[in-house]
Structure 1
């Protein structure tokens, strides 16, 4: 028997899953201690429940994920609307260093993935799906590449990509918080009064505008709708020219154009409305992604997937602790960025931001981290990933 859940019911369950994760994190201190995002906790529990229903009662639960995919576009649109050129410039040296670190991570991930494919005696092309295509790239990149010429001679590439993206999403949500916790305790780090003042100043609103007005909220809704729709039109145009890009990238690019044009024209886009939309779309996206996992489908390749994921987790943990943390300044901001970097490296940008939210809600704000990591993950990482993947495909041993 199959139960298909769609429409408003998907949102209702996703919100319930988020509250479930909140309750469980409060009841299980170790989850809160290591800053596991509540949407990750709730989503995993929901997927375990649906797995039990499948094995015990032969009931398959399926979710319509169109809303999830829309939320991903909305989330990246909010990232684009926050990426002002003056903000990019203010990121300065730390931003450039972490962009270089992201390039290095992509190369490292693919090296590990190809090595694992070689050890298992598989086509080396599968190694890219066990590397940056599915991990740093996430679902969208995995599906996009599986539908391209890369699939030649790679049966099941799409399923493999989705499987690695799924477990990468889980791993990224689980490991980022503990990494930051270890760094904070190991180096006795704490946020400063200046960081708190900067965060408060950045979000400061006149007393009568603590909550955005109706006009500001609707203005933000219109900007987001334009990002999604215009991004889709750009994608259609590029597709006709034979150039494929993930939908969220074009939506984000439109957002960047809108926010910088608004600055030039002296049009104010309410930051509070944008931030709240970003948080809600992020949490619901993660809840939907994790609660919809059909773990029984992956059971046949479970051991192989886990071996590869654990290898990638070990590599990114060492890379984050010994390279990213030091490049970012070895301070409290750097520990928050380490959590975010681990999340976006294993499970895409939304996971990294969720990790940072969990850390800063416990230890205090980090304006620097929330400036740099979204730019690295949403603005640079996917572009760099495309070049790195094509570079690996051009290597003689991959032919």
Structure 2
């Protein structure tokens, strides 16, 4: 007997929060989840979606959610992405950053073209090819959950499920292939590991006694110690930063949504509100860098980014209709297999050489395999494992890869995705 359950706004939101906590807990405790850098929201939400699939196939129950808050959280997340898009970072990163960033942008272009072309050959909606392209691979689960519903609204049934499945495949493939490819490049190019130079210097350590009996009654006249006062001051400062940053994010969200609506109505070219918000945020960030209107606290921006990403991604995962993948299984496998092959060839025979063909280049090759198929955490894990093998850390790689892969890539990647979706849709 099939029971139809319908969760309201509060119930759906609380469920998403619980699944997010469980997913983060599992990520920290389960070895292979941590090793492949699978995000907590994906773990909790996707496992729940699998449970719903089982209940549906067994004709036990179907569940409907109220996902009203998913879109505002998504727009807030992309706003925080835009607030980190300072163009001055490109100048600070030097030649390697520029080369690596151009390679990332080129890869985004190629992945969408490959996806669209193969979708046409295989007889599926080309929008699904984009979902199995830059949306899910360089974009990761965040972009997959964001662009999937947009593609479905444009007529691509099952687009969200395709995008999420592709992103999950990419996370695993990028983590598995990064280290071996970098090692092969080292051996093939006879790359020498740089010598680790250390210098010995004298140092003086000062020990401060913070818990002596003589100072234990400090502040006893008021009944509150300095620790309490400091905690209150810190909490008040944190509240003010969160309030001001949150309001700023909210204002940019409104402006970005209005921009997206106006642009779509004026040109007929679909510009999702979250992309409009990111564009407004990038413009504001770089004008603010120039004129110093407000002081942006990066820690608070990161906090809002993490919370909104976790919430909207979990909600997107838990409401997935996995059964919509059945008819697309074979075409999706073919598209993803070709995408992996293209990336391996691109990294091995183009990017590695352009970056100098040295130890830093090999490390960044491992990183590009990570975020070119999965995400920046995968890139960092790949590079860390590769460098640990040789005992030498590539500081240049650890500066360049996160700047390009987590921040600057979206300056071209997201507009290109939007253009492609309008082109084929």
Give the TM-score, by structure 2 length: 0.70
**Structure 1 regions of 5+ residues with no counterpart?**
149-156, 195-206, 344-351
* Secondary structure at the counterpart of residue 289 of structure 1: helix
2:95 corresponds to which residue? 93
Q: How far does the alpha carbon of each residue in 1:261-314 deviate from its partner, in whole angstroms, 9 at most, with x for none?
A: 433135211111111111222223332222221212332333433343343344
Count residues with an aligned counterpart: 364
Whether 1:269 aligns to 2:300 is no
Shift of 1:226: 0.8
Shift of 1:73: 1.1
Q: How far does the alpha carbon of each residue in 1:42-73 deviate from its partner, in whole angstroms, 9 at most, with x for none?
A: 23212111111112243112333332222221
Candidates 44, 47, 50, aligned match of 1:45 = 47
Distance in 2 between residues matched to 1:234 and 1:118, nearest whole Å: 32
CA pair 92-237 structure 1, distance change in 2 beyond 3 A: farther
2:276 corresponds to which residue? 250
Rg larger in 1 or in 2? 2
Distance in 1 between residues matched to 2:415 and 2:324, nearest whole Å: 31
Candidates 245, 268, 276, aligned match of 1:220 = 245
Shift of 1:376: 3.7
Q: Equivalent residues in 2 for 1:183-222 (5 A)? A: 213-222=238-247
Q: How far does the alpha carbon of each residue in 1:338-367 deviate from its partner, in whole angstroms, 9 at most, with x for none?
A: 422322xxxxxxxx2454576699989944
Q: Equivalent residues in 2 for 1:340-379 (5 A)? A: 340-343=371-374, 352-353=375-376, 355=378, 366-379=398-411
1:159 corresponds to which residue? 157
C-alpha contact 1:325 1:335 (8 A) present in aligned 2: no
* Secondary structure at the counterpart of residue 270 of structure 2: coil
Q: Equivalent residues in 2 for 1:25-104 (5 A)? A: 25-104=27-106
Distance in 1 between residues matched to 2:281 and 2:175, nearest whole Å: 29
* Secondary structure at the counterpart of residue 66 of structure 1: coil
Distance in 1 between residues matched to 2:327 and 2:60, nearest whole Å: 18
Distance in 1 between residues matched to 2:5 and 2:381, nearest whole Å: 33
C-alpha contact 1:36 1:358 (8 A) present in aligned 2: no
Bigger Cα displacement from structure 2, 284-293 vs 310-319: 310-319
CA pair 63-177 structure 1, distance change in 2 beyond 3 A: farther
Distance in 2 between residues matched to 1:210 and 1:183, nearest whole Å: 47
Distance in 1 between residues matched to 2:116 and 2:319, nearest whole Å: 29
* Secondary structure at the counterpart of residue 2 of structure 1: strand
Q: What is the Cα-based RMSD across aligned positions, in Å?
A: 4.0
Candidates 165, 168, 183, aligned match of 2:166 = 168
**Structure 2 regions of 5+ residues with no counterpart?**
187-191, 199-229
Shift of 1:133: 6.6
